[in-house]
Amino acid sequence: MELRHLRYFLAAAQSQSFTRASESLHITQPTLSHQIKQIEDELGIQLFDRVGRVVKLTTAGELFQVYAKRALLEVDAGLDALNELENLKHGRVTFGVLSSFGTFHLPPILADFNQLYPGIKITVLRLRSGEIEERLLDGELHFGVAYAPSSTEQINVEPLFTVPLALVVGDRHPLVGSAGIALNELNEHELIMLSDEYNSRKMMDAILLANGITPRIVMEMNAIEPILATVRNSSLATILSANLVDEMPGLHQVPLTPTVAHTVGLFTRRNSHLSAAARALVDTIRQRF
C-alpha cells in the first residue's frame, strides 16, 4: 500500500462520492475506483458501501479512516520538518478563516507573506468557527482564525482583535445617519440575519435573550455577501461587524448601545507542532493586528 492509496481513500471518505473525490484529486473516476478496490483487496475487507452514486464508509472503513489520517499526519509532519531545513524555501500551509476575515483582512496579509516566502504553498478555506475547530482536531488545518469562544482542553485560542457589532442598514432605511440604536429598540425593525450555525449569530441571540428582546427576523442566510446585498437593496437591516461596511457604497452602520463586540482569535491545536511555514504565517497575522 502506498501513500497515494491513503490519500485517495480519505478523499473518497470525506466527499462520499468517487466522482467528487476524483475531481478533487485530478484523476479519473475509474482510476480512483480501481485504487480503492486495490486497498480493499490488500486488506481483505470492504471499506465502502456503494449505493448508487453515493459511497459510505463501512464500520471497518470508519476504523481504518482514523489510522489513515494519523499515518498521513505523521508523514506530512516529517515533510514539514524537512522543509524547515530549507529555510522556508518550500513548504505548505492549510488554514481556515471566517468569511469576513478572509474577505476584508486576509488579502494584504497573504500578499506580504507571498513576497517574503514565494515558495510556500498556501491553502485557505472559508469555514464556520465550528468547522474550523473540527478540522483542526482532525489534523486537516495547521491553524484557524475565527470568533473566539473560551479555550478548550484540545484547542488554544489567542485573541487577535475585538470588533464591535452594529446595525447595518441601506439607503432606504429610516435609521440612515442615526447616531445609534438601543438594543431594546431592535424589535421595532425587520432583520435579516446569519443562520444560527454561526457563532456570531448564537452570541447575538444570547445577548438579545438576556435583555428580553425578541427580534423580528424575517430572513436568514448562511453567507454575509448576499445579506449585505439584500440590505443594500431593501429596507431590511442586519447585525454584523461594524468594520464590514466601512467605505461600502449604499451601506451604513448604526452603533448599538450598549456596545456589543466579539473577539477574533487565532485557533491552534494544543500540544501540536506548527511547521516553520505555518509559524511564519501566524507571525505575519499577529504583526498585522
Residues 257 and 130 placed together within one structural domain of the fold: no
pLDDT value, residue 21? 84
* CATH number, domain with residue 245: 3.40.190.290
* CATH number, domain with residue 62: 1.10.10.10
- Count of structural domains within the chain: 3
Residues 53 and 92 placed together within one structural domain of the fold: no
Summarised one tens digit per residue, pLDDT across range 144-169 is 999 887 667 889 999 999 989 999 99
Residues 55 and 94 placed together within one structural domain of the fold: no
Residues 168 and 252 placed together within one structural domain of the fold: yes
Q: Which domain holds residue 120?
A: 83-160+264-288
Q: CA 249, CA 232: separation in Å to the nearest integer?
A: 9
pTM attached to this predicted model: 0.67
- End of a domain among 33, 59, 81? 81
pLDDT value, residue 108? 93
pLDDT value, residue 83? 65
Q: CA 265, CA 248: separation in Å to the nearest integer?
A: 25
pLDDT greater than 60 at residue 85: no
In this prediction, residue 82 has a pLDDT band, given cuts at 50, 70 and 90, of: low
Radius of gyration of the CA atoms of the chain, in A: 23
pLDDT value, residue 54? 79
pLDDT value, residue 198? 82
Percent of the chain's residues with pLDDT above 90: 36
- End of a domain among 81, 103, 135? 81
The number of beta carbons lying within 10 Å of the beta carbon of residue 224 is 20
pLDDT greater than 80 at residue 199: no
* CATH number, domain with residue 144: 3.40.190.10
pLDDT value, residue 285? 95
Report residue 67 as a C-alpha cell: 489510522
pLDDT value, residue 148? 82
User: CA dist 203 to 22, 144, 210, 242, 244, Å?
Assistant: 39, 19, 11, 15, 18
Summarised one tens digit per residue, pLDDT across range 25-35 is 888 888 888 88
Report residue 14 as a C-alpha cell: 470525506
DSSP string, 145-188: EEE-----SSEEEEEEEEEEEEEEEETTSTTTT-S-EEGGGGGG
| Amino acid of residue 4 | R
Q: DSSP assignment, residue 270?
A: T
pLDDT value, residue 87? 61
Residues 170 and 253 placed together within one structural domain of the fold: yes
Averaged pLDDT of the chain: 87
Report residue 71 as a C-alpha cell: 499515518
Report residue 63 as a C-alpha cell: 476504523
